[in-house]
Amino acid sequence: MILNQKKLGINAILFLLFLPGLLVSCGRDNSVLKDGYYTAEEAEYDSKGWKEYLTICVSGGQIILVEYNAYNPAGFLKSWDMDYMRDMNSTDGTYPIAYYRYYGRKLLESQSVEEIDALSGATESYNIFVILARAVLKNAGEGNRGTTLVYPEAPF
């Protein structure tokens, strides 16, 4: 009888030790993400000459790095364009480096695009970000490391 109580006590302690890990893993199954770098970008430059892209790095089934930005035909990054930043900030209250970092950080924190809200003044980029994020997450699930071209007008 005492031996059974000890076994029960040990089993209860082991259960309580592993319970937090079980609860966390039940909330989100990122084990389906395959390790590697995954990129999606707009298929065409927009009317202002930018092409947005999103790259993630997955390690151990988790997103560990996110790069969201845009570039022009010369390869210049939108987040470095000071004139664009000044103009957009004065009219929209935000600018590319701010919302690129925000959306990237939120994807890194949540590991899911569905939990990210749009920033005021950056709704168009948010809509493109969601399309790009869904594409890279799909690729990461399939292990497809090729760059995926997306058309923002069409649902992904």
Domain ranges for the chain, please list them.
30-150
What span, in angstroms and rounded, lies between the C-alpha atoms of 5 and 24? 29
- What's the pTM value of the predicted model, to 2 decimals? 0.74
Q: What is the pLDDT of residue 119?
A: 82
**Residue 97 burial (C-beta neighbours within 10 Å; 0-12, 13-18, 19+):** middle
Classify domain 30-150 by CATH architecture: Alpha-Beta Complex (3.90)
Q: What is the pLDDT of residue 1?
A: 53
Question: How do strand 148-150 and strand 36-42 relate by DSSP bridges?
Answer: parallel
Q: What is the pLDDT of residue 91?
A: 75
pLDDT by residue for the chain (156 residues), tens digit each? Answer: 554 555 444 444 444 444 344 333 333 444 599 999 999 999 999 998 999 999 999 999 999 999 999 999 999 998 887 887 787 777 777 777 788 899 999 999 999 999 899 888 788 889 999 999 999 999 999 999 999 999 877 544
The answer to whether residues 72 and 84 touch, using CB atoms and an 8 Å cutoff, is no
Q: What is the pLDDT of residue 17?
A: 42
Whole-Å CA distances, 111 to 15, 44, 55, 139, 153: 27, 27, 14, 14, 25
